[in-house]
Amino acid sequence: MAPQQIVETMYANDAFSQWLGIEIVAVGVGTAVLRMTIRPDMTNGFGIAHGGISYSLADSALAFASNSHGRMAVSIETAISHTAALKVGDVVVARAELEHLSHKTGLYRVAIVREELGDLVAVFKGTVYRKEKEWANPTPAS
């Protein structure tokens, strides 16, 4: 399967990414660009976006980018630094890029910026474990 097909298949079944209102802007081998808008039901007790919102966006970008190579990949370790608070109505864009790929693992970086200002609001990194099972042939026992 091509990267675009893999990501569309993943997204079609990804209820939480749909709840977040994530829009797929672009997909390539080892990369994914996503966009979403901060809503009132995404805020925390300080009236700004809950830290889990930008994490979730970045984690979806990681999932899409790391599966785009054609083999199934699952997250094993992730970290995020929140560098600016997000308010209701802010539109953010997450760009996942491959840092390093080996046979069994992959390392990706996701930068989240506010679309209008272009300022960095979070930096995320994620390491995935790459299974043998391929998206082209998802049915064999693994």
Angle between helices 3-12 and 51-67 (to 10 degrees): 140
- Is the distance from CB of 19 to CB of 80 less than 8 angstroms? no
- Is the distance from CB of 51 to CB of 18 less than 8 angstroms? no
Distance (Å, rounded) from C-alpha 3 to C-alpha 71?
10
Contact pick of 2, 29, 99, 115 for a second copy (by CB under 8 A): 99
The DSSP secondary structure of 34-99, one letter per residue, reads EEEE--GGGB-TTSSB-HHHHHHHHHHHHHHHHHTTSEEEEEEEEEEEE-S---TT-EEEEEEEEE
- The nearest distance, CB 59 to a second copy, in angstroms, is 4
Residue whose CB is less far from a second copy, 83 or 115: 83
- Is the distance from CB of 125 to CB of 110 less than 8 angstroms? yes
- The nearest distance, CB 28 to a second copy, in angstroms, is 18
Give, as ranges, the residues between 60 and 79 that touch a second copy (CB under 8 A): 60, 63, 74-79
Q: According to the binding rule CB under 8 A, does residue 80 interact with a second copy?
A: yes
Contact pick of 10, 28, 113, 114 for a second copy (by CB under 8 A): 10
Q: According to the binding rule CB under 8 A, does residue 132 interact with a second copy?
A: no
Q: According to the binding rule CB under 8 A, does residue 91 interact with a second copy?
A: no
Contact pick of 30, 43, 97, 114 for a second copy (by CB under 8 A): 43
| Binding interface with a second copy (CB under 8 A) | 9-17, 19, 40-47, 50-53, 55-57, 59-60, 63, 74-84, 99-100, 102, 104-105, 107, 109, 120, 123, 125, 127, 129
